Amino acid sequence: MKSHRKELWFETKTRMAFVNITLDVQAALAESGVREGLCLVNAMHITASVFINDDEPGLHKDYARWLEELAPNEPTSRYQHNNTGEDNGDAHIKRQVMGREVVVAITEGKLDFGPWEQIFYGEFDGRRKKRVLVKIIGE
């Protein structure tokens, strides 16, 4: 069995951001040489997500609005987590609902997506360096 590990690094300019990382994951798959297997992609931080959905700007604005309604950043005093001195209680909750990771099947050397599926990095406490793990296993 082959195995390949790669880290993708990000430093978003805004506190919340959605980044299409599909081409980066496809590049990691090409490096791996795996033709049949599985590809795991996960955020390595508890205030960021990896998820699959459509690359449609309106949808991403809808996510941002919905997440901010669900867990507004301010007032930061509403989160007991912030009693530790942090200010990112909202970002932990946003990450929880948007998920930690995705797994994509690899078939004939390609990511075996459904229609319109793309992989995104979701950032909820950005403006600092953070990373995503890509782990590919198979034959």
Contacting positions for Zn ion (CB under 5 A) = 86, 88
Which residue bears the tokens 């909750």? Answer: 93
At residue 93, φ and ψ (nearest 5 deg) are -70, -40
At residue 87, φ and ψ (nearest 5 deg) are -130, 20
Nearer to Zn ion, 79 or 106 (CB): 79
Which residue bears the tokens 């929880």? Answer: 96
- Nearest approach, Cβ of residue 124 and Zn ion (Å): 10
- Nearest approach, Cβ of residue 99 and Zn ion (Å): 18
Nearer to Zn ion, 33 or 72 (CB): 72
Nearer to Zn ion, 2 or 78 (CB): 78
Q: How far apart are CA 97 and CA 115, in angstroms?
A: 23
- Nearest approach, Cβ of residue 86 and Zn ion (Å): 4
